[in-house]
Structure 1
Amino acid sequence: MTHRELNLIFLPDDLWMSILARLPLKCITTSKLVCKQWKSLVESEIFRGVFLSQQQNTSSSSWSLMWRERQIEFIAQYGCDIPRSLGSYVSSFLADMSQTPKESHKLFPPREKIKTVEVVAYTNVGLILICVKSFSGDRTYYVANPLSQQTVKIPPPFSPPLAGFKREKSFRPAGLATRIKHGVVVSGYKFVCLDTRKVNKGVLSFMIYSSETSSWSFKKVLSPIPLFGFNHRNPVSLNGEIYWTAPNEGGEYDLVGHDFYSESDQYNVIPFPELDLELVERCNRACTISQGFLMYMNIISREFLEELREENRLCVWKLESHTADSGDWQLVARVLIPDGFEYIPLTIHPFDAKIAYLWKREHHSLVSVNLKNYKFVIHKELERRSDNVTIKSISYSGYEFPDPTDEIDQTYFSTFVLTPWLQRIP
């Protein structure tokens, strides 16, 4: 068929949408260059909805579990749309930032002034929050997409200074708040910083940078109950709300959250699921996001003294809803674990809530468990499936794995998820 004959072919928009939506995302992006009709179709909300409706297969979704303290990728799953794991993109991106030659990139400081470059927050929308620290102690923050390498520098807070505001240095990064609709970030993002000096006074003070307004604001939120500390270092963000953990008056840890797109001046304190007195939590209290819900899992032990035995179960809860001081936790799975001390819960598959991942200490191996049929699978360090999906786990190589009994409030892992639809940073 000649080029002239090709131009005579006419197909209605809905048929072109059906054809284009079956292509890999990279090909769809390139198709915008073919003609104005395709460009208009691909950039429409209707096409985005058609594409996302055909991407329900979890095998095509890419995500990684990052070991926060060591900046190491612990688990990775990636499909045919990207040739390598998200963690490798993050590592390459950070290396490029730290090695930027002088004067070659106006966005980054000269490399001789850079002391460290690290990720301080991961998200489930394909964005990361980066802190670049200079030898003089100054910190500069960036929001970045490591795949597209698009980077946005966060301007210094309150320049000129906000009236009556004098303690900027006591604020620490506490997360990125975003909202998603049909797989796309809406309402931009909000970079949230917390005043760490006031967490024990029933008031949380935040500095908030909004990408919509390109400006900083100051917000105080009150607590419905007293808190005695605050773990702000590993935030979990879901649809505008950021969650952390914090100890209460009784020494137990609660889930603390606030919706940064709301006008509320109160933050939510949500107790974790209540357990019977004879039950014991074995591991860190860790939350993750799966299929649009906040999930919590732990290994729960029960001793049977008369029989001289102990029973261990992996328990998984889903937060259905919550108020300012309570949560509706639904127990979705109780899976018998042969030896609770041998396993450490890691995360739940972001796109498939029936798959949980654990680390088996004895064999230094990744284990997945199906929460519906209770099937356990021990994974190799690198597996390639027939559907072109690759699953990779850390090569142990002598890394000292965190002890699950150390500081129950500490969460060591963060999930980084690539949304099915790529977009520019707002």
Structure 2
Amino acid sequence: MDLPDSVIVVVLVRLPIMDIARLKLVCKGWKSLLESSYIRDLYENINQRKFSSPWSILYRDLSSNTALEFFCEEWGFRESLGSCVSRFLDEIKAANKNTRVHILAITDGLILTELGPETFRVADPVLREWIKIPHPPPYSSRQDEFQGAAIVTNINNVGYKVVRYGVPVLGVRVMERDRLCFQIYSSDSKSWTYRHVPTQRPISSILPSNPINKNGYLHWLCRASQVIFAYDFYGPSELCVVIDLPQRSAKGTQKPLWHGDEATLTISCGSVMYMNTDTGKPTQQLKIWRLKKYTSGSSSKESWEFLWNLRPGLELCLGCVPVAMHPFDKEIVYLVTCQTNFFQTHARLVIGNLRTKKFQLQKDWKHKTMEFADYEPCFFHQFVLPQRLGSIPCPP
């Protein structure tokens, strides 16, 4: 049958993501069509509420450098994404003579790993591919220090960028600590570049170790200064956006996870969400905002949309820490609570429906040897099977 392209598009965007990946092999015309930005946008709009894409909540265990799965939805996939990640990391380790694999970042179906000093790999555990990134050149400024690395993707670009980030070292005067320094590897240009980005706001000496990636932006949630630093690595801007948090607590306070405010960033329905639990009051409260405006100096009301406020009366477990939201449903939230028994800690996942105000406590997590203080929200990742399933762009 010779069907018009308009009819073919209507049929294809209603198929599961794995079928779409296989249909790219039919002909060059279908491959070009299915990899177009038009199809990606249409697929997202049609399937936003169907939960058709497999995903997992992964915990990055710093002690063993593994990705442990807390929760998953397979949606027709033969195995969970967490199983794909664990198996593939073992394959990378075996292929590199059992060298220890350090997980640096997880986002958009890709994992950034380090197998030695500045020896980066970008891996797709579903397609079982990994690419060695060229070593970054020595940076010239002695006043800069890179503290971490992340990977950035953009929905309109099939490539990626590996970003090393940091701030000036402690020897620099405080008034000069108002910038971020980046080393950026682009899969498009196949080269590294160096960049200084002013922030127009003083920066603490250490940035959080897990920035959130959303459509080309990296977001750092800085609790000490009560702001979010966000920078668009695919845009023309030369300034870092500084966004005040909607609910500011006492600056500089460092409280354990079971006492005080706990906050984290997550992605849901295509937006950055800020979640905050106040455990210092007699009854725990959970509040959630959606980031709607990327403009420095804007008021909290302009930058944030207030979505949920679960007030006293809800029987939440003491010490619940928000870690993620459902990537396709902003009414579902995931929290972690821990109970300590002698020298063992039992971690449990709490799934909450914000509309019905019902929370369900899941069974114990199978790893029970970690300390409660290790369950930092910043080490939890949403690992969502991306809408584009193609090979990783390779260096020459």
Given that residues 76 and 86 in structure 1 are in contact (C-alpha distance below 8 angstroms), is that contact kept between their aligned partners in structure 2? no
Which segment drifts farther, 320-329 or 49-58? 49-58
Aligned to 2:342: none
- Structure 1 residue 236 corresponds to structure 2 residue 212: yes
Provide, for residues 350-373 of structure 1, a one-character-per-residue CA deviation record: whole Å limited to 9, x for no partner: 111111111243474322111122
Counterparts of 2:249 and 2:132, CA distance in 1: 49
Amino acid at match of 1:398: K
Aligned to 2:359: 376
Aligned to 2:80: 85
Aligned to 1:120: 104
Q: Which structure has the greater CA radius of gyration?
A: 1
Map 1:27-426; keep pairs closer than 5 Å.
27-34=19-26, 42=34, 48=40, 51-70=43-62, 71-100=66-95, 110-111=96-97, 115-123=99-107, 125-133=108-116, 138-158=117-137, 165=140, 170-181=145-156, 186=157, 188-198=159-169, 201-246=177-222, 251-274=224-247, 282-301=260-279, 303=281, 310-326=282-298, 327=300, 328-336=303-311, 337-339=314-316, 341-362=318-339, 364-380=347-363, 395-403=365-373, 411-426=378-393
Q: How far off is 1:376 after superposition?
A: 1.8
Counterparts of 2:43 and 2:10, CA distance in 1: 8
- Structure 1 residue 24 corresponds to structure 2 residue 16: yes
Provide, for residues 118-138 of structure 1, a one-character-per-residue CA deviation record: whole Å limited to 9, x for no partner: 220111x211111112xxxx3
Aligned to 1:388: none
Which segment drifts farther, 201-210 or 394-403? 394-403
Structure 2 stretches lacking a partner, 5+ long: 340-345
- Decide whether aligned partners of structure 1 residues 270 and 379 sit closer, same or farther in structure 2, where only a CA change above 3 A counts: same
Quote the RMSD (CA, aligned, Å). 3.2
- The higher-RCO structure (CA 8 Å, 6+ apart) is 1
Aligned residue-pair number: 367
- Given the two structures, how large is their TM-score scaled by the length of structure 2? 0.80
SS of structure 2 residue aligned to 1:411: helix
- Given the two structures, how large is their TM-score scaled by the length of structure 1? 0.75
Counterparts of 2:147 and 2:276, CA distance in 1: 29
Which segment drifts farther, 90-99 or 394-403? 394-403
Given that residues 150 and 162 in structure 2 are in contact (C-alpha distance below 8 angstroms), is that contact kept between their aligned partners in structure 1? yes
Counterparts of 2:185 and 2:128, CA distance in 1: 21
Counterparts of 2:126 and 2:305, CA distance in 1: 36
SS of structure 1 residue aligned to 2:355: coil
SS of structure 1 residue aligned to 2:293: strand
- Decide whether aligned partners of structure 1 residues 291 and 339 sit closer, same or farther in structure 2, where only a CA change above 3 A counts: closer
- Decide whether aligned partners of structure 1 residues 169 and 118 sit closer, same or farther in structure 2, where only a CA change above 3 A counts: farther
Counterparts of 2:185 and 2:123, CA distance in 1: 15
Amino acid at match of 1:140: T
Q: Identity of counterpart residues, as a percentage?
A: 32
SS of structure 2 residue aligned to 1:93: helix
Given that residues 117 and 132 in structure 1 are in contact (C-alpha distance below 8 angstroms), is that contact kept between their aligned partners in structure 2? yes
Q: How far off is 1:224 after superposition?
A: 1.4
Given that residues 20 and 34 in structure 2 are in contact (C-alpha distance below 8 angstroms), is that contact kept between their aligned partners in structure 1? yes
Q: How far off is 1:261 after superposition?
A: 2.1
Counterparts of 2:134 and 2:386, CA distance in 1: 26
Counterparts of 1:44 and 1:204, CA distance in 2: 34
Given that residues 78 and 84 in structure 1 are in contact (C-alpha distance below 8 angstroms), is that contact kept between their aligned partners in structure 2? no
Q: How far off is 1:349 after superposition?
A: 0.9
Provide, for residues 213-259 of structure 1, a one-character-per-residue CA deviation record: whole Å limited to 9, x for no partner: 11111111122121222224111111211111336xxx543221211
Which segment drifts farther, 349-358 or 63-72? 63-72
